[in-house]
């Protein structure tokens, strides 16, 4: 074992290798070599340069979003008529890139701070049999207020101190109260900046003027640059069913994608719109999932006969998140040379593969080994003479 280790170390420190060229006339190996080289060349030209534009310097966009919803709905609930406009159904106030459009709600009118029975939840979590089940001053996770220590016999629930009457959200209105929300329109104004190239663009490109905006409605084929979108179309293109998502709520992502080749005219730098369902009930969902939908609560406070009251609104709606992704490229010599150098290096794969074939797989492998590797030893006297010459 020791002589072998000694010989290996000696060979490593006292032997020198230099390349030797051997012309091999073997059709099979030559064809394999050319196929690999052609594949590498196709990869460099097709993928690196044409598809990935490896000759480009790349910059990522900084963008801003301005939005505006428009639409009107009419409701008649228990003889009470009401008109709903954008100031009523958009949360928060308009202009943000992330907002909610109300499509359904549960209103609890005339709440005041008082003592009242807890709401039966149907799962016996709020059920009580006697006062002993209602710990005074305590709060249940599924409850709506602090328990007073009394069990109300006619509801079999604890008495609580809370905003009374307690909200009853066990039945969600179906069909949705604001089902006509599918005809609301969304106007999106987006501007981006590519700092590295000093380029500023807006989604209101050259062909989008005021007269066009007044009449257009986005369609991926006929009007792909129109910045006005119908809410129902956004929901449908994201893969959701509008009537279902309007009933319980959901979330949708609108992607504005900029992929600009600045070697061409700036007029070719245009946005593409894509729609994704982020959370909700999809058209093909068959199994029931827990905690579906999107909702939140807000209250309108007022004073009546010297008593503070409120109207509690549980809002179900479509949450829209607008995301901007911008990428621009322009010719630059440094990434071009880098891509070419990487491609030339990959050509070495053909040599490695063909050497493996010649040395280990073809029948004449011993002959090729002798031709490829030549072992030479310089006599010690001559090497000493050369060293001191």
- 340 and 267 within one domain: no
CATH number at residue 286: 2.60.490.10
Q: Note the pLDDT of residue 1.
A: 65
Max intra-chain CA distance, the chain: 120
- 93 and 215 within one domain: yes
Of the candidates 182, 276, 259, 271, the residue with the CA atom closest to the CA atom of residue 223: 271
- 276 and 368 within one domain: no
Q: Note the pLDDT of residue 384.
A: 46
Is 384 contained in some domain?
no
* CB distance 173 to 248 below 8 Å: no
| Domains in the chain, number | 2
Q: Note the pLDDT of residue 340.
A: 87
* CB distance 329 to 261 below 8 Å: yes
Known binding residue 209? Answer is: no
Write out the chain in H/E/C secondary structure: CHHHHHHHHHHHHHCCCCCCCCCCCCHHHHHHHHHHHHHHHHHHHHHHHHHCCCCEEEEECEEEEEEEEECCEEEEECCEEEEECHHHHEECCCCCCEEEEEEEEEEEEEEEEEEEECCCCCCCCCECCCHHHCCCCCECCCCCCEEEEEEECCCCEEEEEEEECCCCCCCCCCCCCCHHHHHCEEEEEEEEEEHHHCEEEECCCCCCCHHHHHHCCCECCCECCCCEEEHHHHHHHCCECHHHHHHHCEEEEEEEEEEEECCCCHHHCCEEEEEEEEECCECCCCCCCCCCCCEEEEEEEEEECCEEEEEEEEEEEEEEEEEEEEEEEEECHHHHHHHHHHHHHHCHHHHHHHHHHHHHCCCCHHHHHHHHCCCCCCCHHHHHHHHHC
- 280 and 170 within one domain: yes
Is 172 contained in some domain?
yes
Known binding residue 68? Answer is: yes
Range(s) of the domain holding residue 342: 19-55+332-372
Residue in the structure block whose two tokens are 């039945």:
171
CATH number at residue 40: 1.10.287
- 198 and 239 within one domain: yes
Q: Note the pLDDT of residue 344.
A: 83
Q: Note the pLDDT of residue 285.
A: 57
Q: Note the pLDDT of residue 353.
A: 85
Q: Note the pLDDT of residue 213.
A: 93
Is 367 contained in some domain?
yes
* CB distance 289 to 220 below 8 Å: no
Is 232 contained in some domain?
yes
Is 154 contained in some domain?
no
- 224 and 99 within one domain: yes
- 248 and 361 within one domain: no
Is 29 contained in some domain?
yes
- 261 and 317 within one domain: yes
**What is the reported pTM?**
0.77
Known binding residue 69? Answer is: yes
- 252 and 205 within one domain: yes
User: How far apart, in whole angstroms, are the C-alpha atoms of residue 329 and residue 332?
Assistant: 9
Reported residue count of the chain is: 389
Q: Which of 306, 330, 354 is the last residue of a domain?
A: 330
Is 385 contained in some domain?
no
* CB distance 179 to 243 below 8 Å: yes
Is 149 contained in some domain?
no
Could you report the average pLDDT of every consecutive run of 10 residues in the chain (389 residues)? 74 70 78 87 88 90 93 89 91 85 93 90 78 86 87 88 90 91 94 94 91 93 95 93 91 95 92 89 57 87 93 94 94 90 84 83 77 64 47
Chain-centroid distance of CA 327 in Å reads: 16
- CB within 8 A of 25, min separation 6: which ones? none
- 257 and 180 within one domain: yes
What does residue 169 show for φ and ψ, rounded to 5 degrees?
A: -110, 25
Known binding residue 229? Answer is: no
- 319 and 345 within one domain: no
- 349 and 228 within one domain: no
């Amino acid at each position: 074992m020791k002589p072998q280790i000694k010989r290996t170390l000696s060979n490593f420190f006292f032997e020198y290798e230099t390349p030797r060229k051997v012309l091999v006339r073997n059709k099979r190996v030559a064809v394999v070599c050319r196929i690999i080289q052609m594949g590498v060349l196709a990869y460099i030209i097709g993928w690196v340069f044409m598809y990935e534009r490896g000759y480009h310097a790349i910059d990522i966009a900084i963008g801003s979003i301005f939005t505006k919803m428009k639409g009107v709905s009419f409701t008649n609930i228990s003889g009470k008529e009401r008109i709903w406009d954008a100031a009523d159904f958009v949360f928060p106030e308009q202009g943000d890139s992330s907002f909610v459009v109300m499509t359904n709600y549960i209103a609890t009118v005339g709440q005041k701070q008082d003592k009242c029975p807890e709401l039966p939840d149907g799962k016996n979590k709020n059920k009580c049999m006697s006062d002993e089940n209602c710990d005074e001053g305590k709060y249940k996770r599924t409850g709506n207020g602090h328990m007073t220590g009394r069990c109300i016999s006619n509801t079999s629930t604890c008495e609580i101190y809370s905003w009374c009457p307690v909200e009853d959200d066990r039945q969600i209105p179906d069909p949705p109260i604001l089902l006509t929300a599918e005809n609301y329109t969304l106007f999106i104004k987006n501007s981006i900046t590519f700092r590295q190239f000093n380029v500023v663009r807006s989604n209101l490109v050259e062909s989008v003027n005021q007269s066009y905006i007044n009449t257009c409605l986005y369609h991926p084929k006929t009007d792909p640059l129109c910045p006005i979108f119908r809410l129902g179309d956004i929901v449908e293109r994201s893969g959701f069913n509008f009537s279902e998502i309007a009933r319980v709520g959901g979330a949708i992502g609108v992607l504005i994608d900029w992929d600009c080749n600045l070697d061409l005219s700036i007029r070719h730098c245009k946005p593409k719109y894509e729609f994704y369902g982020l959370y909700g009930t999809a058209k093909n969902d068959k199994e029931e999932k827990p905690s579906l939908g999107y909702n939140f609560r807000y209250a309108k406070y007022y004073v009546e006969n010297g008593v503070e009251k409120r109207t509690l609104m549980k809002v179900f709606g479509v949450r829209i998140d607008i995301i901007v992704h911008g990428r621009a490229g322009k010719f630059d010599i440094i990434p071009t040379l880098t891509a070419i150098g990487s491609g030339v290096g990959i050509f070495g794969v053909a040599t490695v593969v063909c050497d493996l074939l010649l040395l280990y797989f073809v029948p004449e492998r011993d002959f090729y080994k002798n031709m490829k590797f030549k072992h030479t030893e310089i006599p010690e006297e001559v090497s000493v003479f050369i060293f001191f010459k």
